[in-house]
């Protein structure tokens, strides 16, 4: 009788260990296949740029809503997925003057806000 109880206890512990490992494995697998996360991205026309600029995000057109005066910024929401690149363009006086690709390097951006900044040095990806 005593041996039978010991076998059941050992079996129970083994199943618990395998079950908890299985849960962790499934959580990690879910995180990897979860896909993109809606993230606010700041589009910034640096205050050191002298004039207006149209900073255009993916799937946006050049409209008055995208015009940013020197020092202004606006937020857009993108579904960012780690490893994927997102294309941004800048127009000044109706001429495209810069293009860059920013690649998401984090799964989630809880403590940082990815920024695309138009600066005197060009179009930059910050905190990506």
Q: State which residues form the domain around 28.
A: 1-34
pLDDT over 60 (residue 28) = no
Task: Mark whether 53 and 100 lie in a shared domain.
Answer: yes
> What would the mean pLDDT of 26-35 be, rounded to a whole number?
54
Supply the CATH number for residue 91's domain.
2.60.40
> What would the mean pLDDT of 78-104 be, rounded to a whole number?
94
Of the CA atoms within 13 Å of residue 3, those in its CB half-sphere come to 0
pLDDT over 90 (residue 76) = yes
41 vs 48: CA distance, rounded Å: 20
The DSSP output letter for 3 is H
Note the pTM of the prediction, 2 decimals. Answer: 0.70
């Amino acid at each position: 009788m005593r041996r039978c109880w010991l076998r059941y206890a050992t079996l129970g512990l083994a199943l618990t260990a395998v079950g908890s490992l299985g849960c962790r494995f499934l959580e990690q697998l879910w995180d990897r296949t979860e896909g993109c996360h809606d993230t606010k991205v700041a589009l910034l026309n640096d205050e050191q740029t002298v004039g207006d600029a149209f900073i255009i995000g993916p799937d946006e057109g050049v409209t008055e809503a995208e015009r940013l005066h020197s020092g202004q910024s606006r937020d857009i929401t993108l579904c960012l997925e780690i490893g994927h690149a997102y294309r941004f363009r800048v127009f000044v006086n109706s001429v495209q003057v810069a293009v860059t690709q920013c690649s998401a390097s984090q799964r989630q951006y809880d403590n940082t806000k990815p920024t695309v900044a138009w600066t005197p040095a060009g179009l930059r990806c910050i905190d990506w």
